[in-house]
Chains A and B, each alone.
Chain A
Amino acid sequence: MSGEDVITVRGLFKDRVSNFLRKRIRVLDNLDLTVRRGETYGLLGPNGAGKTTTIKILLGLLRPDRGEINLLGAKPGDHTILKKIGFLPENPYFYSHLTANEFLDFASQLFGLDRAKSKEHNLELLKRVGLAEEWADRPMHQYSKGMLQRLGIAQSLVNDPEILFLDEPMSGLDPIGRKDVREILSTLKEEGKTIFFNSHLLPDVNEVCDRIGIMHHGRLVAEESIANISRGESYKALEDFFLAKVEEKKEGGDKDD
């Protein structure tokens, strides 16, 4: 790991305005975090902690109210930076009318990649995520959730990204699907990709991540390396750490209030 910071977030704030009564709800509250090149960083937190919002702001899909972000030396949404980024959204639906081949071609064209070259690359990607050849030309409405998730990972890799953002990549997958995704992530890690992912599934995080951040009510309440938490043992230590930090924050939060 080279240690160069590729994602830096400082003092990030984001409010959401509720549809009813137009009440402002704080989603991100002075968030700070740093991710280094080649690192697999897991962002954990209970539902509504602000994990998905953080990813969306980093990608330029949402605008922060305040704060500074540095992504590969530029601001989120910068097109030269987006060319170096891959993204798998949470519960991907994609285009049910397209086949896997057509969808990957579509994703490649959005990056402006050479069609002939990307065609070969896309076939390799399909193999890599374990989508059998006979499925490549079938429309996506025939796919299972696990297959869509694999295809989602494949589309996030069409541009051979430097940083990969994965929002709940294991959600809804059966144990075999989760194992497959873990293996794909491990290979990507070996290739030196920086992986930033949100997850609830602590066993997977324990196995794949180098470092984790725990979010609660829009703040980063803890950041630690997996090696220091579980020391290569079961995910139980991570679970205890996670629960302790969230509980600690809850108690601290009560005092703050």
Chain B
Amino acid sequence: MTELQATLAIALNTFRESVRDRVLYAFFIFACLITMLGIVLGSLSIGQEIRIIEDLGLSVIAIIGGIITVFTGTTLVYKELDKRTIYVIFSKPVTSWQFILGKYLGLAACIILVTAAMGLFLVALIWMVDPLHQIQLHLPWLGGALGLVLLELLFVLAIATFFSTFSTPIMSVIFTLSIWFIGHLGSSLLELSNMSQNQMAKMILSGIYWILPDLAGLTRIRLELTYMQPPSQEILSYLVSYIVAYVVLLLGAAAVVNERREFP
């Protein structure tokens, strides 16, 4: 119980820090404004207004949510070191895993809140543009798509958290963005590997494909959901469990790295 108490205290502190940061609101407003561009783009299409607003909205949530995740996640541990607040934490009976898990959960809560707020804005926008649109029928599918965006963001956050335990923020941003991008290459990596003549390149490319979660596959399922097409349960559960396992592994590794470090 005490162990959970410390973890939750760190999570609450991290959540407060994130939601009290004005930059977050700037990103949120920016995301809303871009989503509203969907009205203009939608009006250029014939009968596809809602479709375009929805697609653009979900992409904006994924991208802006990703930017928030990368930039806040990569400074997660660094800020505690830089501001020397880490001394307050580790001079108390707090373990490394409590610290890492608390930091992760706090920022995850903030990302969930921002994603939900952007999602609500998107639904409100669709309703305003076309009040006759049967949004209630579409809501579960949109919710599912948003859930997948969130899952991806939580994965990116785990990568950022891992790198933030031993790297500078700039390097952590570069590493996290690289893995995020490569994860989106998905099966293209396998195709590239098959096309390659070089045995070493073949091994590396297919290795990366099998090691990293297939984020491109996740995006594909998200698109299917917006077309109200039920995804293959087998693939969905495989991807979800792969990503969850990945998050657990990354947080565990971050806790081990943090455990070994000193605080000069």
Contacts and interface: CB of A to CB of B under 8 A. Distances in A.
User: Are A and B associated in one complex?
Assistant: yes
Contacts of B227: none
B16 A102 contact: yes
Nearest to B264: A62
A107 B16 contact: no
Interface stretch (A108-116, A185-193, A207-215): A108-116
A107 B90 CA distance: 11
Contacts of A80: 93
A45 to B, nearest CB: 18
A112 B13 contact: no
B220 interface: no
A98 interface: yes
B90 A79 contact: no
Contacts of B93: 79-80, 82-83, 110-112
B200 interface: no
Nearest to B19: A97
Contacts of A93: 83-85
B87 A87 contact: yes
B91 interface: yes
Nearest to A165: B91
A200 B184 CA distance: 57
A207 to B, nearest CB: 26
Interface string A44-74: 0000000001001001111100000000000
B20 A97 contact: yes
B83 A85 contact: no
Contacts of B9: 105-106, 109-110
Interface string B79-122: 00001110111111111000000000000000000000000000
B255 to A, nearest CB: 15
B82 to A, nearest CB: 9
Contacts of B3: 112
B84 A16 contact: no
Given A89-B87, A93-B83, A95-B13, A110 B94 contact: yes
Contact of B2 (A82, A106, A112): A112
Interface string B1-32: 11101101110110011001100000000000
B262 A98 contact: no
B16 A94 contact: no
Contacts of B264: 16, 53, 56, 62
A146 B126 CA distance: 53
A107 B5 CA distance: 11
A194 interface: no
Nearest to A16: B264
A61 B93 CA distance: 12
Among A102, A110, A155, A165, find the residue whose CB has the most chain B CB atoms closer than 10 A. A110
Contacts of B83: 93-95
A94 B125 CA distance: 41
A61 B85 CA distance: 12
Given A62-B262, A109-B6, A112-B5, A82 B92 contact: yes
Nearest to B9: A109
Given A59-B91, A97-B16, A110 B6 contact: yes
A106 B92 contact: no
Given A97-B16, A97-B17, A109 B8 contact: yes
A60 B10 CA distance: 20
B92 A107 contact: yes
A128 to B, nearest CB: 19
A56 B17 contact: no
B84 A92 contact: yes
Contact of A109 (B5, B88, B91, B263): B5
B88 A61 contact: no
Interface in A171-203: none
B263 A61 contact: yes
Contacts of B92: 82, 107, 110-111, 159
Contacts of B263: 56, 61-62
Contacts of A155: 88
Interface string A98-129: 10001001110111100000000000000000
A107 B6 contact: no
Given A62-B262, A109-B6, A89 B88 contact: yes
Nearest 3 Cβ contacts at the A-B interface: A112-B2, A109-B9, A79-B93
Given A95-B83, A109-B9, A110-B9, 5 more contacts: A91-B84, A92-B84, A93-B84, A95-B85, A106-B9
18 contacts: A56-B87, A63-B262, A79-B95, A85-B91, A87-B87, A89-B84, A92-B84, A92-B88, A95-B13, A97-B20, A97-B21, A98-B16, A105-B9, A107-B92, A110-B93, A112-B1, A112-B2, A112-B5
